[in-house]
Amino acid sequence: MQAITLAGLKATYAKGTRVSDVMAEVLRRIDSYKDPAVWISRASSEAVMARSAALDADPSARALSLFGVPFAVKDNIDCAGFPTTAGCPSFAYAPSENATVVEKLLAAGAILLGKTNLDQFATGLVGTRSPYGAPRSVYDTRYISGGSSSGSAVAVAAGLAAFALGTDTAGSGRVPAAFNNIVGLKPTRGRLSARGVVPACRSLDCVSIFANTVGDAAIIAAVAEGFDAADPFSRPMPAVLAPPDAFRFGVLPVASRDFLGDVGCAALYDAAIARLVSCGGTPVEFDYAPFRDAAELLYDGAWVAERTAAVGDFLDAHESGLDPVVKAIVASGRRFSAVDAFTGSYRLAECRNRADAEWEKMDLMLLPTAAVHYTLDEITADPIRRNSHLGRFTNWVNLLDASAIAVPAGFRDNGLPFGITLLAPAGGEVGLTNLAQRFHAASATGAGLSRTPVTVEPLSLLDKGVDLFVVGAHLSDMPLNKELRDLKARFVTAAQTAPDYELYALANTTPPKPGMVRAPSADAASIAGEVWRLTPEAFGRFVAKIPTPLGIGKIHLSDGSEVSGFLCEPIALQGARNITSFGGWRAFIASMTSI
């Protein structure tokens, strides 16, 4: 099954292929896929085709960074028009709006296919704890897909979606990636908003991304990221440099390479080390003990009580549709006291100090994503202990505030895929992108069911860059938008200012231009615009050409974030028309052309 990638879709659309034709093929694939446990709810064919037709009919839509890209969402993330079940039918509710990340992806032109299966309440790394069934590895249906983001990983690996959202508290965005031969990006905590996500451990939860290539995952994260004032755990990301050309990478000492008897995994880990050496790295053994000790706190310490805080009252009051293992785990959090929670935080601080000393030895870390790949029967026979085995190299990552990219790394003799994870301290996933791409390409694994080798993608699309908010002639369908495109700017999202700006149609400007001023008053309002991303060098060139009376300042957006954008000198408002009531320049221009 051919993998769906952003580059592949872009090339297809560039040839004139309609979105409707691509989506018809995607729907055919979904209908013919033989694992019914992938989806919990699906968008109707009519809804998908209507969205496709709307994109086809809008010439400006082709500028959107995710134009016509089909995606899926784990069913603990809110999508308006779909019930959110968290894998539990009796818990289901109908959200009135999209989660922040979903809203950003839709605004960038992506097409939502439906909601995917998961370990109930995102509790598990196995993908078997759901009343909706157990999705299987795309390579062998006797084997688990991994969890908790099981359906999302399978949807991407099976060629049903270009990317999918998961969540990752203990490894749920990485283990399923390894078991299905795809990329799993676990961003730094708080980089992607968790507003609209059913919490598992709220202080640790991350929205994660499954994709067929590292570059795709990085682009999707760049679209979805951003501070969200409505999420108390959202935070600005630190600026972290990429590893140097000659870098040190941490590897497990032989004594810590416990693959539970899986000799094939041990050999593939050795091969991954050699491959990273060929990319310019020097392996450095480090002490895994502080990371292992932190990992044990997640399920053997007071952090289990955070799962109880999230959904424990619901589980106590309901029996229908509950997985017995999930209920036992969540209920067990009540045995911990506030004293235990403080004691656990002290223990974690000790682990963090010891871990920081190990990080001093290396620029990044190379770990197996999972030690072993179990069959469904093996998990059924011993669900808790074997689930714990799967988290051996993942459970500590959010507790110690690290970032991670899970990447395919080869195949065992039995044909099952093996994956590694590249890890760095908070913010490091952006800097790891280039190296992770090179590693994936060198592994020659393909992606998902497709064995076609992936290529290293141009990093110009992946630069974090500088965001610019535009409100007038630089909008995507306006006369000066070409200035942004000539500088290789990339559309990020539609957005609105905070409700304290006024917009004016300036006099004697060619082409017609607006001027926006921040003037909190009874006449002020939110002004519609767009966010575009430029490299720092391109941003400087753009700003240097801005004519008076316009300039660049800080714009306060409606989501509480702040971004660079156009502002106007007050002197230019003499003779200008106040058009704030239109809500934006595009609406004003439309009113003029209709006269």
Residue 169 in contact with residue 161, Cβ under 8 Å?
Answer: no
521 an active-site residue?
A: no
DSSP single-letter state for residue 248? E
Please confirm, yes or no, whether 172 is among the known catalytic residues: yes
The one catalytic residue in 65, 149, 172, 450 is 172
203 is catalytic: no
Catalytic residue among 130, 148, 443, 561: 148
The residue type at 205: D
The two structure tokens encoding residue 220:
């999707």
Beta carbons within 8 Å of 313's beta carbon, 6+ residues apart: none
CB 527 within 8 A of CB 497: yes
* H or E, element range at 250: strand 247-251
Q: How does DSSP assign 304-371, residue by residue?
A: HHHHHHHHHHHHHH--TT--HHHHHHHHGGGG--HHHHHHHHHHHHHHHHHHHHHHTT-SEEEEES-S
Residue 557 CB-half CA count within 13 A: 24
444, 445, 450, 452: CA torsion to nearest 10: 0
Could you give the angle at the alpha carbon of 19 between the alpha carbons of 14 and 21, nearest 5°? 105
H or E stretch covering 495:
strand 490-496
The one catalytic residue in 20, 52, 65, 74 is 74
**CA–CA separation, 486 vs 504, rounded Å?**
27
Cα–Cα distances in angstroms (integers) from residue 371 to residues 142, 175, 256, 314, 387, in the given order: 18, 10, 11, 34, 11
> Within a 10 A sphere around the Cβ of 336, how many other Cβ atoms?
18
Contact 189, 222 (CB under 8 A): no
| Residues designated as active site | 74, 148, 172
